[in-house]
Structure 1
Amino acid sequence: MSADDGTTVKLPSFRGRRNLRQEITETLRGAVIAGEMTPGAVYSAPSLAEQFGVSPTPVREALLDLAKEGLVEVVRNKGFRVTALSPKELDDITELRALIEPPTVRRITEQGVSAKAIKQLRPLAAGIEKAAARRDFIAHVTIDMQFHLALLELADNPRLLETVRSLRTSSRIYGLRELPDGDALFDSSHEHAELLDLVEAGDADGAEALMRRHIGHVRGIWSEKNLTEDPS
Structure 2
Amino acid sequence: MEEDRVRETAQARIPAQARKVPKVLRHSVRGQVLEALRAALVEGDLVPGEIYSGPALGERFGVSATPVREAMQQLALEGAVECLPNRGFRVLARTPRALAELAEVRALLEVPVMLRLARTVPAQVWAGLRPVADATVVAAEAGDLAGYAEADRHFHREVLALAGNAELVQVAEELHRRAQWPLPGVARTPRARLVADAAQHVTLLEALIAGDLPLSDSLIHTHAHP
Q: 2:224 & 2:44 partners in 1: Cα distance?
A: 18
Q: 2:213 & 2:34 partners in 1: Cα distance?
A: 35
RMSD across aligned positions (CA) = 2.7
The alignment-based identity, stated in percent, is 35
Is the CA contact 2:140–2:148 (under 8 Å) kept in the aligned structure 1?
yes
Return the match for 1:162 from 161, 166, 170: 170
* CA deviation after TM superposition for structure 1 residue 122, in Å: 2.6
Is the CA contact 2:141–2:194 (under 8 Å) kept in the aligned structure 1?
no
Q: 1:115 & 1:62 partners in 2: Cα distance?
A: 39
Task: Show the counterpart of 1:228.
Answer: none
- Whether 2:76 is the aligned partner of 1:67: answer yes
**Structure 1 residues 198, 117: CA separation in 2 closer, same or farther (over 3 Å shift)?**
closer
Return the match for 2:18 from 12, 15, 38: 12
Amino acid of the residue matched to residue 188 of structure 2?
A: R
- Whether 2:130 is the aligned partner of 1:122: answer yes
Q: 1:176 & 1:130 partners in 2: Cα distance?
A: 22
Is the CA contact 2:31–2:71 (under 8 Å) kept in the aligned structure 1?
yes
Amino acid of the residue matched to residue 148 of structure 1?
A: H
* CA deviation after TM superposition for structure 1 residue 117, in Å: 5.9
- Whether 2:214 is the aligned partner of 1:205: answer yes
Task: Show the counterpart of 1:224.
Answer: none
Task: Show the counterpart of 1:140.
Answer: 148
1:83-94 → structure 2 map (5 Å cutoff): 83-94=92-103
Is the CA contact 2:204–2:216 (under 8 Å) kept in the aligned structure 1?
yes
Task: Show the counterpart of 1:222.
Answer: none
Amino acid of the residue matched to residue 122 of structure 1?
A: R
Amino acid of the residue matched to residue 18 of structure 2?
A: P
Task: Show the counterpart of 1:223.
Answer: none
Is the CA contact 1:44–1:80 (under 8 Å) kept in the aligned structure 2?
yes
**Residue range with higher mean Cα deviation, 27-36 or 133-142:** 27-36
Q: 1:83 & 1:190 partners in 2: Cα distance?
A: 31
- Whether 2:188 is the aligned partner of 1:177: answer yes
Structure 2 unaligned residues grouped into runs of 5+: 1-14
Task: Show the counterpart of 1:78.
Answer: 87
Is the CA contact 1:72–1:83 (under 8 Å) kept in the aligned structure 2?
yes
Deviations 1:42-99 (A, max 9, x none): 2233443444444443332221111111111112223221112211111111112222
**Residue range with higher mean Cα deviation, 188-197 or 170-179:** 170-179
Task: Show the counterpart of 1:6.
Answer: none
**TM (normalized to structure 1)?**
0.74
Is the CA contact 1:105–1:207 (under 8 Å) kept in the aligned structure 2?
no
Q: 1:77 & 1:158 partners in 2: Cα distance?
A: 38
Q: 2:131 & 2:60 partners in 1: Cα distance?
A: 28
Q: 1:195 & 1:108 partners in 2: Cα distance?
A: 13
Q: 2:173 & 2:19 partners in 1: Cα distance?
A: 26
Aligned-partner SS, 2:82: strand
- Count residues with an aligned counterpart: 204
Structure 1 unaligned residues grouped into runs of 5+: 1-8, 218-232
Q: Which has the larger radius of gyration?
A: 2
